[in-house]
Each structure stands twice: as structure tokens, then as C-alpha cells.
A and B are shown apart, each in its own frame.
Chain A
Amino acid sequence: MRVNDYDYAYAVARIRANELGLLTSSDIEQLASAESYKAALRFLEEKGWISSDSDDVGAALISQTENAWKLLREVAPDISVLDFLIVRHDFHNIKAALKEFVSAAAFGFENFGGDNFLTPSIADPEQVMDAVRNRDFDALPDFAKDAAAQTYEVLIRSADGQLADIMLDSSALNATIMKAETTRSEFVRETAEVICATANIKIAFRAARTGRDRQFLNTALCDTATLDKDALASAAESVEQLAGFISKTPYGDAAELIKTSAAALERWCDDMLMSHVYKARYIFLGVEPLIAYYIAKEAEIKNVRIILSCKRNKLPSEAIRERVRKVYV
């Protein structure tokens, strides 16, 4: 389907109107400064995030993501351009279904639930469940069928859950790049590149900290244009080497953080993506504001989760502020 920038006039206007509902940095500041967990919940209730008659905050957060995607589906001239943003949920769902299926088979259960599925996703979670239950991986979307079949083999033959995890996580990153490349949008490709390159940095960092071998890295890392996979895998032998390598890449600002803390690096990666999508604020015709809105919504939900978790554990406001991510508005 050929879509040009003019076709996004309606979609962008709807998104701009909905951006008014995003939490601003002062909202996040207010939430972080709330006296207690209950006060934070009250604030979210005032903002319409949660209803007073529901105490399931987790479900409220999930529905925020689902509503954002529902809006995008409604307004986007071609929703497949945005698939790269959610394709990782499909791989998560395959992972959850496979693990549940293998566990159910091992313990002799006849049914398995599928409670850990993520939405929104490209394939319906029910379709994923059925495909795994019937071991009919051809019923899955093209981008996932081979990875699902290979992971199933690994789980059945070696019962190596960790290997299955990294195989599917790496396939998810490769699918993100692949989905982005099928679009004609430079912004989509750049966004996918930032998502995957920062994911690679986090994987390499964890591998360096835990002393994982080269084979692990070869499986876990994905191919990106801005970070050479082999060079990154070689550098991940130690944290110092990794920091040295990263300092010479476009992600050089992360080098110092690699030496300090995992939480700071995670935050930097999220902020890097947010900084990348900031330019969409000045684009009025095109897919960019739609992508930025979804990423902004995800960042907002992450911020709310972090703040609520900190409030539940009675962490001081300063500690919360160190953890919150950049917001879009």
C-alpha cells in the first residue's frame, strides 16, 4: 500500500490532540513527590489513568498501551508501518507459550493458560497458543515461524530455557530491523536502529558483567548498521573493553555509564530513544508523530511503573527522580 505524507494529515491531528493526555514532566515530578503510594494512586486517578473502583493498577497500565495502539490502528493509513514497534511482543508471546507448553507437557498438565502474553501484538495471542499447542509453527506469521520452530527444538532436546530466551530475543530484534526495512520511511529505519543498537549495548554489558562466552553473544546480539556485531561481541569480554569500544561509536555517551551502573545505562538507552523521537514534535505530515506517540506512551507507562514501585518500597523522591525517564511533552 502506497501511503504518502499527505495521507497522515488526519492521523497526526488526532495524535496531537491526544498528546494533551500524556503526562508532562511536571506531572511526573508531582507523581514522584507524592507523599505515599496511595497519594500517587490518587494522582493517577485524577489524571484518568486508573478508576477509583479498580485496584488492579497493572491492568490499568496494560490498558494504557492497548488504548494507544487502538488509537494508532484507528488513525494510521497503513498500520503495518508501525509493526516494528510491537513485533517484539509476538516473540515474547511465542516464548511464553512455548515455555508453558513444554512445562505443561513435562508435568503432565493437559491445559496451559497463556496468562503472560503481551498486547498489542501483530499475531493474536490465541493464534500463537493454538500454533504452539498443535506444534503447527507454519500457522504463525512468516517473520516468527522459523524462530519458533528452532526454539521449540531447543526446549525439547536440551530443556535450555535460557538459550531459548536469547534465541527468541535476538529474533525479535532482527524482526524489528526487518519490519522497519520493509517501510520506505527513513525515520522508521532510524528508530528501529536505535532500539536494536541500544538493546545490543545492554546485552553486551550484561554479558561482560557476568562473563558470558562468545557463543552466547553471537546468538544474543542482532545485526545493526551503527554497531558492528563482531566487534561488540569481542569488546564484551570485560566492562572496561566494552566501555572503550562504545566510546568510539555513535553511542559514546554510554561509555561512562557502562563503568558505573546497570540502572544508569538502562535509563540512558530509554532516553536516547526519546531524544531520537523528539524531532517528530516538529513534523506535521508523516508517520513520525505516530511512532513518537507510541514510544512516548511506553516511556510514560514505564515511568509510572518505576514511580509506583519506588513508592511501594518507600524510596525517597530523590532516588525516584534518578530513575525516571525523559518524557515527550
Chain B
Amino acid sequence: MDKYGLAFAVLGAILAALMPGIASAKGVGMVGEAAAGVVSEDPSKFSKVLILQLLPGTQGLYGLLTAVLLLSKIGVLGGQPEDLTFAKGMLYFISCLPMVIVGFFSAIRQARTAVAGVSIVAKKPEHSGKAITFAAMVETYAILALLISVLAFSSIN
């Protein structure tokens, strides 16, 4: 079983990059569609809706960061992978789960909030700051997930 230790650790890193990345792509695309709807009617609102479009993209970056840090820690990036036991590999895998799960769902929910924010910008552009704040609130949980994932696998010896 020990030969699977490294495989589980790498799987955790891949999922951490993959799942939030997929959700971010979907979210940024969705908000982009809504933003295009507003800009096609009023191009002057481009900068306001662009910020909203960027917000759901951060989960993909956090996932990438988690994956890079973990791959670096287990030596895969340096070309000298550690010989991990099954238990240790599983620990690395489990430590990635907060980023995998929270990153995925928070990107989708943030995109929905940002789409609602685009409607605020469409009708009341002077309140775009509030729209951005609403969407940014969802970001908190993606950041917390990133923190716990990185802290968890950093403390595995």
C-alpha cells in the first residue's frame, strides 16, 4: 500500500488545482456573459463590471497555489519525490480537501452573487461598490479554505 502514498498526495494537489479551476472558469464565464449584456447597452460600465467578473476567478488561483506548494513540499516539483507512506499520502490528500470542496462551491456561489451585482451596476452604477462588497464576502470562505489546506499539509512531517 505504501507505494500509493505519493499517488494520493499528488491526487490531492491535482484536485486542488482542478476543481476550483473548473468552478472559476464557469463562474468567470457566467459573470462575463452578464457583463457583456450590460456593456453592450452601456460601454462606459466596462470597468465596474470587470471587477465583478474577476472575483470568481480567485478560487482557481488559490487552488493553483495549494497545488504548487504541496507539489513543492513533497519534492515532485524539484524532481526528487519523497517516498511517502500510505498514511502520510492520505494526510496530504485530506489536507487538500478544504480547498477542493470550498474552492469549487464558493466560486459558483460567488459568480451568482457577482451576476446579481452586474444587475445593480446596470441599473444603479453609483452603487457598484456595494455590488462588489456582496460578491467579495464570499471570497472570505475561499481564503479560509486556502489557509487551512496550506497550514494542514505544511504541518505534516
Contact = CB atoms under 8 A, between A and B. Distances in A.
Interface of A: 6, 9-20, 75, 284-285
A292 B38 CA distance: 18
> How many B residues are at the interface, by size bracket?
10 to 19
Nearest to A17: B41
B119 A13 contact: yes
Interface stretch (B27-35, B58-66, B98-106): B27-35
Contact of A17 (B30, B115, B122): B122
A75 B37 contact: yes
A14 B33 contact: no
Interface in B103-157: 112, 115-116, 118-119, 122-123
Contacts of B31: 9
Given A17-B37, A284-B116, A285-B112, A9 B123 contact: no
Contacts of B116: 284
Contacts of A18: 41
A16 B33 contact: no
Specify which of B31, B37, B42 lies most central, judged by the most chain A CB atoms within 10 Å of its CB. B37
Interface of B: 30-31, 33-38, 40-42, 112, 115-116, 118-119, 122-123
Contact of B123 (A11, A14, A20, A285): A20
A13 B38 contact: yes
Q: What is the interface of chain A mostly: helix, strand, loop, or mixed?
A: helix
Nearest to A7: B33
A15 B115 CA distance: 13
Given A16-B119, A284-B112, A284-B119, A10 B34 contact: yes
Contacts of A12: 34, 37, 115, 119
Given A6-B30, A284-B112, A284-B115, A13 B123 contact: no
B121 to A, nearest CB: 9
B42 A17 contact: yes
Contacts of B119: 12-13, 16, 284
B115 A14 contact: no
Given A16-B123, A19-B123, A9 B38 contact: no
